């Protein structure tokens, strides 16, 4: 939940008094034209950035009140361009485990664990020993997703995870993401420019423009009968 959030970057106001609630256990799409502040909002949720003013709440508590590393392990982030760490696919997944804080239940990051994690993102466990340099964009994004899941986060944030992928590859990744969320009751918040993706794969949609909330609600309701003229015009382009 965000209250009165203002974010300024290099003198430009990218979030301008934003109030929005992101419902738990749902798959939420953040949509809106470029420059709406979608990515800026997402980065506030696990404190990759802090707002200039206003409060970001996680489970009713300001995010600044959590130890930042603990927060980031509970709120995972998948970036638009997947960044692979040097080494194999398994190395990448184990890196996430190696970063566990002292208060976390230990995970035996053995071969079975790696295989299970890969299967959960619909990658063949035979990928485990492969060097990440030789993976395709879609495969890298699945490894990045598995790596984010390795910390067993309660919330998963995705910044245009399919932006660099072919439509077909993107669609398969989206169904994986939705299934991962449904299996675990995890909250997912996703920035997307592909409106069909928002319509077909999410349960809640937040429409933003110029750093402000335009409208938010259940995805189907919003796509079928948006109350706001701007939302109707924007969603009609889907």
Partner 1 sequence: MLATLALAAAGDPTTLDVSWLDLGLAGALVLAAMGISAWQRLGLGRGFAIGAVRATVQLVVVGYVLVYVFAADRWWLVLLALAVMLAAAAQASTGRVGAPRRVVLPVTGTAMLVGAGLTLAYVDAVVLRPGQWYDPRYLIPLFGMIVGNAMNGAALAAERLTSEMESRRGEIEAYLALGATPARAAAEPTRRALTAALIPAVNALMVVGLVTLPGMMTGQILAGASPLLAVRYQIVVMFMLTGAVALTSALVVLGYRKRFFTAAEQLRPGGPA
Residues that bind partner 1 (CB under 8 A): 9-10, 46-50, 64, 68-70, 72-73, 76-77, 79, 81, 83, 85-86, 95-96, 99-101, 144, 147-148, 151
| Shortest Cβ 22–partner 1 spacing (Å) | 18
Q: In this complex, which beta carbon is closest to partner 1, that of residue 118 or of residue 222? A: 118
Quick one: 17 exposed, middle or buried, by C-beta within 10 A (0-12, 13-18, 19+)?
A: middle
| Shortest Cβ 203–partner 1 spacing (Å) | 24
Pairing state of beta strands 53-58 and 2-9? Answer: antiparallel
Number of Cβ within 10 Å of residue 174's Cβ equals 24
Q: In this complex, which beta carbon is closest to partner 1, that of residue 68 or of residue 182? A: 68
Q: In this complex, which beta carbon is closest to partner 1, that of residue 19 or of residue 70? A: 70
| Shortest Cβ 111–partner 1 spacing (Å) | 21
Q: In this complex, which beta carbon is closest to partner 1, that of residue 9 or of residue 179? A: 9
Return d(Cα 101, Cα 94) in angstroms, integer: 14
| Shortest Cβ 69–partner 1 spacing (Å) | 4
């Amino acid at each position: 939940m965000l209250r009165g959030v203002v974010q300024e970057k290099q003198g430009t106001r990218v979030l301008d008094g934003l109030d929005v609630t992101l419902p738990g256990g749902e798959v939420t799409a953040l949509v809106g034209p470029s420059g709406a502040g979608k990515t800026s909002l997402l980065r506030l949720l696990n404190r990759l950035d802090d707002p200039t003013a206003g409060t970001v709440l996680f489970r009713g508590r300001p995010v600044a009140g959590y130890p930042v590393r603990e927060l980031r392990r509970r709120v995972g982030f998948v970036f638009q361009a997947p960044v692979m760490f040097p080494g194999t696919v398994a190395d990448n997944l184990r890196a996430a485990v190696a970063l566990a804080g002292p208060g976390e239940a230990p995970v035996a990051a053995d071969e079975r664990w790696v295989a299970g994690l890969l299967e959960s993102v619909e990658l063949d466990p035979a990928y485990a020993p492969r060097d990440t340099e030789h993976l395709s964009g879609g495969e890298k994004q699945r490894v990045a997703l598995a790596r984010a899941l390795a910390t067993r986060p309660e919330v998963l944030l995705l910044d245009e995870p399919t932006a660099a992928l072919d439509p077909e590859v993107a669609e398969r990744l989206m169904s994986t993401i939705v299934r991962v969320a449904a299996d675990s009751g995890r909250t997912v918040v996703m920035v997307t420019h592909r409106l069909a993706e928002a319509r077909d794969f999410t349960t809640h949609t937040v429409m933003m423009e110029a750093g402000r909330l335009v409208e938010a609600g259940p995805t189907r309701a919003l796509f079928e009968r948006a109350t706001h003229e701007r939302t109707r015009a924007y969603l009609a382009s889907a």
